[in-house]
Structure 1
């Protein structure tokens, strides 16, 4: 692809240089797409290995070769790195000082698992415009989810309030919650990490409603959804066949127990494609469940294509769940919790069903509705048509992303104009 008239340099900051989840996948895919469109993406990551996709595309990568916080054998070292990553400060400062100011943007996708809040120091010192994509909520909430892992419910407490400090909401020990609170207090109060970014990207309107009140006063929020890698296989030939399935990480906050309970009430066998920390516990509690375990991407797509419907019973807010969009692309209706961002991509009663978040009874009600073959066939056709009417391809994502970049750079140029030049320009204009 030919280079654009003015190629941009984008420093993509992320904890992992490999695809470890949706956040890293979007960052890495965007780097590959930007390179393909003639720009200069530079991936700056704390933890390896380096994704093959980046190497194959010829994307520049600076990887510090560190462990992430969970992978560090020393809890003390992990706590120090997670609070203040000295190596990241030095390496990022050196990189940013070497780049052209007029055409460079720093785009941060994540910092909470390895890079730490200390990246605010070199970014601020560089004077370069910076943008943050809200894949999760660590910028605003200590545990990153506005979710109480102890009660299994969304948390409505004000982050870092007295009640927040006193509440054990972490998935691990209360001491870990206190460390996370202290880290967020440093990020917000000492280094001013949120204020480093004049611009934020939200993945959905639902997410905008969650974080809007926590953004810096003068920040600009842009809406740019994630890219989805999907093949157009055409409408499903037999949409009313197959099982209703759960796809993804089998962790408590994703709602697998809720699905299993709702299915048991109907005498339905729930099917799970994926693995996770509570998979064994789930199987012990619901021995009738069909546990297919981890599958490669092709097998996951095949399972979703042949499913009657996908159930997405997540108990927390999510960002923009890719699985929901992947199911729609395949013509599979989605049954989604009304308390998560996935509902934004499902039209209740048209391309799937909403159910009341955390309510097994209401999920059972919807699972019963999904037994109707005619309704499922209609929803399958509508899901497929809705997705492919405006598919969120990587090329479209890059177009929207670069439009945001150029808007930021144009504004930066106007703001950074010296006062004397502004005075002269005003006189000439008059």
Structure 2
């Protein structure tokens, strides 16, 4: 089956790109003819080694551009991406091809919408975030560091600055969102994949009523190493971007309240501020994947204090797979993988005192050891492996490829709505 994977990036710069690339490699290994289409390089060398045709536009994204003013045209409407994707689709038989979109908002832009809508090839969209429903992609109010409850592109939404960089940027996001909504990108999706129950609950009110939903968890790259050494419970570790929406400052404050030391693995815009305000904390910077796993394996617990509707945090699942319990915010989908009081603890989102109480509870060695064993056993009883992920993708591809001829404009009939793949 020819499969065209569409993403902003052709290299791993986060969980979204990792899932797109890992699944592309896995599908190619199963014999599918995979094409990887992306705006931003460099390309992961494994793609070429796997025989995957990689179409790379050699563009920048919104986070790496040297001039937002010059980048604004690409961000709003990337004509180069539209033309190149159109050429790729023209080379494939639409009756024998699946297009799987993982990302568009950082570099590809809404310009790919009319191209996808104009093709008869079924389009599958994995929701790693919320850009099809929310202008800033997260239902998150950055100035107040809280989830946003406003209806997208309502008067209340347009009038309120929720952007991390100012109201002018917010208005650009609104304009781009309106463009996207009018490209047919949403109305012509053959299937929408969500990566958690929370994500679907947030998105469902904003997408067409006859959307075909599938729940497919992201694959986790982990090995069954066995239970951890019970004599080395380790410390409290945060892994990820040091930013407000990730709750980095919340963790630092809770660690101080609980008398524990905060250990940060990662970097981001809040690092200098946090280093100055919390000199007792340890800042280790970014690690490669193997280094992150070593840190997680050695930790007493992973603290995941995200304050937005994070879809399915890979770090939470990786931690559980390594036998490290997780303290997780009750607002993000990471809670779905953590059994409160068994494999970790939930705390009230945005509340440093609640997080401090959870940290105090897990500072007890016996509690940490019990939860470590439960975390490991719970994950490996039903592991989210790449093979399971690929099995589910192939089933979805088969179902949308067999949609009846009377379904026009790329939209599936309501009678074809399938049960979630859990």
TM-score tier by shorter-chain length is over 0.9
Counterpart in the other structure of 1:384: 376
**Which residue, out of 230, 247, 258, partners 2:250?**
258
Matched, 1:82 2:75: yes
Higher helix share: 1
TM normalised by structure 1 equals 0.93
CA distance in 2, matches of 1:172, 1:83: 17
User: Secondary structure at the residue paired with 1:106?
Assistant: strand
Distance 1:378 1:206, change over 3 A: same
SS in 2 for 1:415: coil
- The Cα of 1:252 is off from its aligned counterpart by 1.4
* Residue 373 of structure 1, aligned match among 365, 369, 385: 365
**Which of structures 1 and 2 has the larger relative contact order (alpha carbons within 8 angstroms, sep 6+)?**
2
**Aligned with 1:201 (options 178, 193, 200):** 193
Match of 1:343 among 327, 335, 338: 335
CA distance in 2, matches of 1:403, 1:198: 13
The 10-residue stretch of structure 1 (244-253 or 174-183) with the greater mean CA deviation from structure 2 = 244-253
Q: What's the counterpart of residue 420 of structure 2?
A: none
1:404 corresponds to which residue? Answer: 396
By how many angstroms is 1:292 displaced? 1.3
**CA–CA separation in structure 1 for the residues paired with 2:82 and 2:299:** 47
Q: Distance in 2 between matches of 1:9 and 1:66?
A: 25
Which residue is equivalent to 1:135? 128
- State the shift of 1:96 in Å: 0.7
The structure with the larger Rg is: 1
Aligned to 1:60: 53
Q: Which residue of 2 aligns with 1:164?
A: 157
Query: 2: CA distance between counterparts of 1:186 and 1:414?
Result: 28
Instruction: Supply the distance in 2 between the matched residues of 1:294 and 1:179 (Cα, whole angstroms).
Output: 31
- How far, CA to CA, are the matches of 1:303 and 1:258 in structure 2? 20
Root-mean-square deviation (Å): 1.4
Unaligned runs of 5+ in 2: 409-422
The alignment status of 1:238 with 2:224, answered yes or no, reads no
CA distance in 1, matches of 2:404, 2:232: 53
CA contact 1:240–1:373 (8 Å) conserved in 2: no
* Structure 1: tracts of 5 or more residues without a match: 1-7, 417-430
Matched, 1:295 2:287: yes
Deviation string 1:282-339 (CA, Å, 9 cap, x unpaired) is 1111111111111222221111101111100001111110000000010000000000
Runs of 4+ that moved beyond 2 A: 69-77, 412-416
Q: Secondary structure at the residue paired with 2:384?
A: coil
1:282 maps to 2:245: no
Aligned pairs for 1:151-190 (under 5 A) are: 151-188=144-181, 190=182
CA contact (8 A) 2:116 2:185 kept: no
Shift of 1:346: 0.3
Q: For 2:36, what is the secondary structure of its paired residue? A: strand
Alpha-carbon deviation of 1:244?
A: 1.2
- In 2, distance between residues paired with 1:411 and 1:237? 52
